[in-house]
Amino acid sequence: MANAESHKSGGIGKDIGVYVCLLALAGLQFIIAYQNMDASRMLSRMLAVAFVEAVLAALFFMHLWAEKRGFLMFVAVFTIFVLLAMQYGWTDSFRMLVGAPFAH
């Protein structure tokens, strides 16, 4: 396939490098889990690590980096917009915990 052949894959060396990075980041998530910190800080750190893992996997394992820039932008903008829009309901989640009648 012309498209596949044109991938700037960089060979198996780069793939193994990305794999080792992903393993290290996954390990970092487990280390964070055993730190003594409150849940919100722990969650934000873990999600930040997961986001970096996802970007690495999408760009290099799924070869998004080698696709046309227009496609990369299409995937990134569409996905990030919808994911951000999903955060709309968090205030209601806090209301359930502390503001709703009989919450406690």
Partner 1 sequence: MSHADLTMEGHSAGLTAGTPFSMPTKKFAMWLFIIADTMTFAACLVAYGFLRNGTANWPRPFHSITNVAIMTFILLTSSLTMLLGVQAARAGDKAGAFRWTMITAAAGILFAFLHVREWLGLIDEGMTMFKNPWGTGLFGASFFSITGLHLTHVTCGIIALVAVGLRYKGGRYNADDIEVVGLYWHFVDLVWMFVVPLVYLLNLSH
Q: Which spans of this chain sit near partner 1 (rule: CB under 8 A)?
A: 1, 3-5, 7, 9, 12, 15-16, 19, 22-23, 26, 29-30, 32-34, 36, 39, 42-43, 46-47, 49-50, 53-54, 57-58, 61-62, 67-68, 70-71, 74-75, 78-79, 82-83, 86-87, 89-90, 92-97, 103-104
| Closer of 1 and 101 to partner 1 (Cβ) | 1
N residues, the chain: 104
Give the separation between CA 32 and CA 41, rounded to whole angstroms: 10
**Helix extents (H) in the chain:** 2-5, 11-33, 39-56, 69-85, 90-94
Q: How does DSSP classify residue 40?
A: H
Give residue for tokens 């829009």: 85
Q: Minimum CB separation from partner 1 for residue 10, in Å?
A: 11
**Cβ neighbours, 10 Å, residue 29:** 16
Min separation Cβ 101 and partner 1, Å: 14
CB 65 to partner 1: min, Å = 13
For the CB of residue 59, give the shortest distance to partner 1 in the complex, in Å.
11
CB 18 within 8 A of CB 61: yes
